[in-house]
Structure formats: structure tokens, C-alpha cells
Amino acid sequence: MNSDDIEKIELELFLEAIHYRYGYDFRHYARASVRRRVRHILGKTGCKNVSDLIPLLIHDEQFATKAIYDFSITVTEMFRDPDFYRAVRQGVVPYLKTFPFIKIWVAGCATGEEVYSLAILLQEEGLYNRAKIYATDFNDTALKKASDGIYPLKDVQQYTSNYQKSGGACSFSDYYHAEYNSAIMDQSLKSNITFSNHNLVTEGSFSEVQVIFCRNVLIYFDRSLQNWVFNTFANSLSRSGFLCLGTKETLEFSAIYDQFKVIDAQERIYQKKI
């Protein structure tokens, strides 16, 4: 048995330890992603082998918390992929304007940049006052950052550029104020957002929503877990509701593909059939 085979066994034991000790189930994450993340953890600890991490996971809760955090995808930015937000304005917003009240689920919201981007878009389209955004993630540390809505001021130049390319109608500076080296999102954007812990891997559907955003999360799941999550989304969406995925994700070949029609193939926006 070569070293790669041994590492595969160690990775399985590592994931089982997290699951049985703390209840977080990463066993159906894509193995290439798992390997990268565990090697990153190894580099921070100085341990030589993955198996050396398992006793730490079981006995050191502080270490385990940090390791679990490393499995959370928190790389994001305001109005990331501006063409996607332009497509939402053009293809989804007109439908939402026909509703007296709108519920939106942002699944895997990480540190919240996409949530505030959505809030800004809805405000500019005259929809925010009748919308409720449920922003969820399994990572409580990331959720705290999202709820605080405080981001490095150095990132605002990129956010502003994205906002302008996405079809923003105002000045991005209208939506935050600068304090020290931070950009603090305007309190008015938070009034209709609820941040809460929810684990896509183990928890069920939300109550009926009109739109689900889950972008650049499913690429880290294997096919069986993707299908589990897609079923959760299908059960959560109202009839004619929209599912918005990341540019590298698709409903094609999924178990629920026949329940949806394609609204924008390039931006991965789908609508549930009536």
C-alpha cells in the first residue's frame, strides 16, 4: 500500500472523527477539496500525518472548532460576478415585483457580502421593504461577521467596481460609512435580514421561498450530496420560484432537473415549473 492509499484511509478517519464527535458531516465533500483543506490544517499544526490530527480533533475542542472553520467556504466579495446580478435584475426582479411579499434564502452565506449585495439590489428595485432575507451558514464565526456587516476598507474599491458593472443605480458609497480601516454597512440594509445557523448537509428545507441563492457552495460536494441539497431546494421553493447557482454549478444531470426550466444558462438561474 503506497502513501496515497494510506492518506485516503486517514482522510476517511478524519471525517468520521468530526462527524461522530461534533456532528458536522463532511463525508460527502469532494475528496480533492477535503485533501486541500486537511493539508492546510496540517501545515498550521506542524503534524506530519493526517492520522496525527485525529486525537487532537477528539480531545481538543478549540482545535476542532478551528478545523471545522477551515471547511467553511468564506471566500466571497460584494457583487461578485457582476453579470450575475445584472441577470437577476433583468430576469428575476420583474417576477418578484408581482408579489406583495417576498421570501429569499441565501444558503451558505459565509461572511455576508452576497447578502448585502442582494439587499442593495432589492432596495434599488423598490422591493426591499416587502422582502425578508434568510441568510444561513453552518459556520457561526462567519455568521457573526455577516451580522456585523463590517468589511476591510481596502476591499471597497473592488466592491465599487463590481457594483457599477452589475448595473448599480446609485453610488456604492451610499451604502456604507468608513470608520478607521473598515467599511460598515448601513443599518437600513440589515432590517429585513435574518442570519441563522443552518447546515445544508444535515438539515431540511425552509418554508416556501420565492428565490434561493446558493452560489459556489455545491462545487465542494460530491454528486450524492448535491442531489440531497437540490431536493432540499426544490422542496423549499414556491411554484415558479427561482434557484440561482454559481457559474461552475448546474442542475443538469441532477435528480430534479425536470422540475425546472432554464432562465439564464450562463449565469445558472433556473425557475421551478408550475
Query: What is the pLDDT at residue 74?
Result: 63
- Segments making up each domain of the chain, as ranges: 3-70, 82-272
- Sheet with strand 102-107: strands edge to edge: 193-197, 131-137, 102-107, 209-214, 237-245, 269-272, 260-264
Provide the CATH number for the domain formed by 82-272 in this structure.
3.40.50.150
Listed in sequence order, the residues at least 6 apart from 98 whose beta carbon sits closer than 8 Å to its beta carbon are none
Query: For residue 75, what pLDDT is reported?
Result: 67
Q: What pLDDT score was predicted for residue 112?
A: 95
Q: Within the chain, which residues score under 50 in pLDDT?
A: none
User: Does residue 227 sit in helix, strand or coil?
Assistant: helix
Q: Write down the H helix ranges in the chain.
A: 3-22, 31-45, 53-59, 61-70, 82-91, 93-96, 113-124, 140-148, 156-165, 223-236
Contact 34, 16 (CB under 8 A): no
* Rounded distance between C-alpha atoms, residue 189 and residue 265, angstroms: 30
CB 240 within 8 A of CB 271: yes
Q: Which of 105, 90, 80, 62 is nearest to 232 (CA)?
A: 105
- Cβ burial of 50 (10 Å; 0-12, 13-18, 19+) is buried
Q: How do residues 146-183 score in pLDDT, each as one tens digit?
A: 999 999 999 999 999 999 999 998 999 999 999 989 99
Identify the pLDDT of residue 202.
78
Check: CB of residue 222 under 8 Å from CB of residue 30.
Answer: yes
For the chain, the straight-line distance linking the first and the last C-alpha, in angstroms and rounded, comes to 54
- Pick from 203, 260, 266, 246: which is nearest to 114 by CA? 246
> Which amino acid does the sequence have at 133?
I
